[in-house]
Chain A
Amino acid sequence: MPDIFADFSPEEPVRIPLLDSFLELPVIIQIAVIFIFISSASIVFIQVRIWFTRYKGHRMQKRLAVLLPLIDNLISEHIILRNDVMNNSVHADNADLDIDAFRLREFRKKGNKQILIDRLISYRKGFSGSTGALLRRLYLELDLDKVSFKKMKRSQWNTKVRGIRELTDMDISISDVNILPLTNSKRNELRSEARNAYIKLSKNEPFKFFDISTEPLLKWDQIELFKTITTTENIALPSFARWVTYSSNKSIVSFCLKLIVHYNQIDAGPAVVKLLDNKDHVLRAEAINCLGKLKYEEVEQQLLHIYSNQPLNCQLEILKAIGRMETRHSVLFLKQEFLYSTDFDIRKNAARSLVRNAPKALIEELMASSSEDGQLILKHSMNPLIKY
Chain B
Amino acid sequence: MAGIGHWITTFYESTVFVYGTVLLVIYALLGLFSYLAIRNFLRKETYTNYFDLLTSPLSPGISVLAPAYNEGLSIIMNVQSLLTLNYPTFEIVLINDGSTDNSMEQLISQFELVAVDFAYNPKIKTQPINHIYKSTNPAFGKLTVIDKVNGKSKADAVNAGINIASFNYFVCTDVDCILDKNALLKLVKPVLEEQSKRVIATGATLRIANSCEIDNGVIIRMKPPRNLLARFQEMEYIRAFVLGKMGWSFINCVPNVSGGLGLFDKEIAIKAGGYDQQSFGEDMELMVRMCRYACDNDIDYAIRYIPETLCWTEGPVTVKIFKLQRTRWARGLAQLMYAHFKMLFNPKYGRAGMITFPYNFLFELLAPIVELTGILYYIYLILTGGVNYTFAILLLAFVYSYSVMITTMAILWDQLAFRHYKSWREVVYLCSTALLEFLCYHPLIVIFSLRGYYYFLTGKKHSWGNMQRQGFGQKKKT
Contact = CB atoms under 8 A, between A and B. Distances in A.
Judged by CB atoms under 8 Å, the answer to whether A and B touch is yes
A36 B394 contact: yes
Interface stretch (A217-225, A264-272, A328-336): A217-225
A216 B398 contact: no
B423 A43 contact: no
A216 B394 contact: no
B117 A223 contact: no
A170 to B, nearest CB: 14
B141 A377 contact: no
A57 interface: yes
Interface string B382-420: 000000000100110110011011001101100110010
B52 A43 contact: no
B416 A53 contact: yes
A35 B394 CA distance: 10
A157 to B, nearest CB: 8
A34 to B, nearest CB: 9
A26 B116 CA distance: 76
B152 interface: no
B118 A223 contact: no
Contact of A379 (B56, B119, B405, B424): B119
A165 B43 CA distance: 14
A223 B59 contact: yes
Given A218-B193, A219-B192, A227-B56, A54 B424 contact: yes
A114 to B, nearest CB: 11
Contact of A220 (B55, B57, B193): B193
Given A39-B402, A220-B192, A50 B395 contact: no
A47 B401 contact: no
Given A35-B398, A42-B409, A218-B193, A53 B404 contact: no
B408 A373 contact: no
A50 B58 contact: no
Contacts of A86: none
Interface string A29-63: 10011011001101100110111011101000000
A120 B218 CA distance: 29
B195 interface: yes
Given A158-B47, A383-B116, A223 B408 contact: no
A227 B195 contact: no
A43 B408 contact: yes
B371 interface: no
Contact of A162 (B47, B114, B415, B428): B47
Nearest to A221: B193
A162 B52 CA distance: 16
A50 B44 CA distance: 22
Contacts of A385: 114, 116, 134-136, 141
Interface in B179-210: 189, 191-196
A227 B193 CA distance: 16
B46 interface: yes
Contact of A51 (B56, B57, B394, B424): B424
A150 interface: no
Given A29-B394, A216-B195, A219-B192, A54 B46 contact: no
Contacts of A344: 119, 121
B58 A39 contact: no
B405 A42 contact: yes
A345 interface: yes
Contact of B53 (A162, A223, A262): A223
Contacts of B118: 376, 380, 386
A46 B412 contact: yes
B297 interface: no
A344 B119 CA distance: 9
Interface-centre pick from A55, A125, A219, A381 (highest chain B CB count, 10 A)? A219
8 contacts: A36-B401, A50-B431, A218-B193, A385-B114, A385-B116, A386-B134, A388-B166, A388-B167
Given A26-B391, A29-B395, A380-B117, 18 more contacts: A28-B17, A29-B394, A32-B397, A33-B398, A39-B402, A40-B405, A42-B408, A43-B401, A46-B409, A49-B412, A50-B427, A50-B431, A53-B415, A54-B427, A218-B194, A223-B56, A345-B121, A383-B134
